[in-house]
Amino acid sequence: MRGGARYFRIIEEIASKAVYSLHLQTYIFDEDETGTAVANALKAAARRGVLVYVLLDGYASQKLSSAFIDDLKAAGVYFRFFEPFFRGSSYYFGRRLHHKVVVADGYYGLVGGVNISNRYNDMEDRPAWLDWAMFVEGDVAQRLDKICVRMWNRGVFASRCLAGSNPSMVSPPEKCLVRVSRNDWVFRRTEITNSYRMLFTLAHKEITIMTSYFWPPQGILRRMVIAARSGKRVRVVLTGHADVPLVKYAERYLYDRLLRNNVEVYEYQKNVLHGKIAIADRQWATVGSYNLNTISAFASVELNLEVQDAAVAGHLCDAVDEIILADCKRITSQSFVASAGPISRVLYYLSFRIIQLLFALFTFYFSQKKKGS
């Protein structure tokens, strides 16, 4: 599904169905109309006796007021922040909880790139940023539940989470192949990055990528170029209106290489593009929090769902085709040369180098682990 009002309605529906446990883990949780509505749904579940656990990134959600947090806790919601700048025996600077997950009773699950904020919702004065999520029921939600429990229990001072799944639930009759894929480089998890690496090798005809904050690791960028030069159709859909202009300039530094090697580049014009998806041959798709950049690959805690199903992947591909046709501008070699003069190209180059430097600072960490661990 696309983000926006429907996404937040589903969060509220999941919360209303929860009987035993409810987890919400996300990067940004803002204290605005959208955040208040979600908080109300969480508090209502807790008052019914549901064990509700909320884990937010300690950097991106730090603006939440003490009164807002205290109100959640007073209703019975277990609340904590993930990873402050420094912690205990290991010192990390830059590691962030970037995944966006909601799961109830180990049966209903919602995974995507959508944060809890008005920017991601359809408001009266402006539409939502373009984003994606996937709703699941059944076995895969049990896996999501276990991941959420483990993430919560890593907190040194956190109350232990022992909530399990609802034993009365049975798997739905309609099934497709779904895999939970994670990235947490500090703990040597690189499953999503590996999937992107394999994507360009294993796809037969067509690869479509939609992502925000695009500066992929060199190995993935090289595979993308090789796939396009070998005759596979490779499309990259990026934002035309970035919330961080420096990042947009850095992205455009890569356009010349992409265009010279037959990669189709599109810029979304309607609003800010925040979605993170990839589709291969209308048979396989990945949806989640992972941006195709080095921060997602080497710094943040990320989670995607990978689906091997022609109906799901085909539906998503059709939706992207419609967006490209209605709301995107194609960037060609000719249009890029015409719009990017010498001064712009210098700006793009400098922005790219600055982003690289900021990345090095953002992901700097020092960790001492026991030998043999």
Which residues does the annotation mark as catalytic? 98, 100, 105, 274, 276, 281
> Rounded CA gap, 346 and 301, in Å?
33
Query: Beta strand 365-366 with 206-210: parallel, antiparallel or unpaired?
Result: unpaired
d(CA 99, CA 300): 8
DSSP secondary structure code for residue 128 in this structure = P
State the residue for tokens 């962030």. 96
Other Cβ atoms within 10 Å of 57 Cβ, number: 23
Q: Cα separation of 328 and 324, whole Å?
A: 5
Strands (DSSP E) contained in the chain are 21-26, 51-57, 78-82, 91-92, 100-104, 108-112, 133-137, 177-184, 189-190, 206-210, 233-239, 264-268, 277-280, 284-288, 302-308, 328-331, 365-366
> Angle between the 33-47 and 66-74 helix axes, to the nearest 10 degrees?
20
* Spatial distance between the Cα atoms of 275 and 208, rounded to a whole number of angstroms: 13
* 8 Å CB contact between 302 and 99: yes
Angle of helix 191-202 relative to helix 218-229, nearest 10 degrees, comes to 20
Phi-psi region of 163 (alpha: psi -120 to 50; beta: other; left: phi over 0): beta
Q: Give the CA radius of gyration of the chain.
A: 21
d(CA 182, CA 34): 27
Can you tell me the distance from the alpha carbon of 212 to that of 192, in angstroms, rounded to the nearest whole number?
16
E strand or H helix that includes residue 46: helix 33-47
> Which phi and psi angles does 17 have, rounded to 5°?
-85, -20
